[in-house]
Every structure is written in structure tokens, then in C-alpha cells.
């Protein structure tokens, strides 16, 4: 019985550590700029904010991103700058959870930019 309890505790700690690592440790951080072509709230059970910016002419130059629900200023700015040229600061996670968003890229800051 003690072995079973210890095993369960160890498994719980490992699972919690894995989820904490995925959520709190970014794989990369960066900035992307382009025209904000899409931003919407979607999903059936878990509503997430998803968007796209166009960084050029072809489909290969579309950057898809997600925004966490708690980032109300980012959501407000993205809704305001729809169709405008924007600069997005983001973090990339190792993996995403389905209740957070569809992508591994999460926007942390939005700036409206002039086209060069």
C-alpha cells in the first residue's frame, strides 16, 4: 500500500512538473510584424483567441498566433488594429494546451506600426 501511494505521489509530481515547464518556460521569444488580417474568438467548449498576420504575399508568410484570455489589453489592441500594420511581441512555448489556444505562439504586446 505504501509503495502505491508513493508511486502515485511521484507520478503526480512529475505530471505537475511537466505542465509547469510547458506553461512557464518559453522555448523562444521574439517580434513579428505584418498586416493583421484575422483575429477572432473561436472554439466549441473552450473559446480561444486566434489570429493571423500577413508578412508578405504568399500563404507561407502567414504568422498564426493565440492570445491568452487574461491578456485583455492585447485582445483590445488586436481588435482595434484589425487590418492595420502591427508589431507583435510573442513567446513560443514547447507545446500548447487545447484550452489556451491552437498555436504555440502567444502574443504578449501589440504595437501599431507604419509601413516602411
Encode pLDDT of 12-61 as tens digits: 999 999 999 988 999 999 999 999 999 999 988 899 999 999 987 766 78
Report pLDDT for 101.
87
Helix and strand tally (H, E) in the chain?
2, 5
Domains of the chain listed by start with CATH number: 27-112 (2.40.50.140)
Q: How far apart are CA 81 and CA 19, in angstroms?
A: 33
> What does the DSSP 8-state code read for residue 61?
G
Cβ-contact 87, 108 below 8 angstroms:
no
Write out the three cell numbers for 100. 489556451
pTM score of the predicted model:
0.83
Neighbours of 111 (CB within 10 A): 13
Residue with cell 484575422: 38
Amino acid at each position: 500500500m505504501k509503495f502505491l501511494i508513493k508511486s502515485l505521489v511521484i507520478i503526480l509530481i512529475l505530471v505537475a512538473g511537466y505542465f509547469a515547464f510547458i506553461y512557464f518556460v518559453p522555448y523562444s521569444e521574439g517580434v513579428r510584424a505584418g498586416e493583421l488580417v484575422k483575429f477572432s474568438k473561436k472554439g466549441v467548449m473552450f473559446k480561444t483567441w486566434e489570429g493571423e498576420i500577413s508578412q508578405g504575399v504568399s500563404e507561407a508568410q502567414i504568422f498564426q498566433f493565440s492570445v491568452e484570455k487574461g491578456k485583455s489589453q492585447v485582445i483590445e489592441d488586436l481588435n482595434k488594429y484589425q487590418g492595420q500594420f502591427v508589431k507583435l511581441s510573442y513567446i513560443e512555448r514547447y507545446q500548447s494546451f487545447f484550452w489556451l489556444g491552437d498555436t504555440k505562439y502567444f502574443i504578449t504586446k501589440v504595437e501599431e506600426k507604419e509601413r516602411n
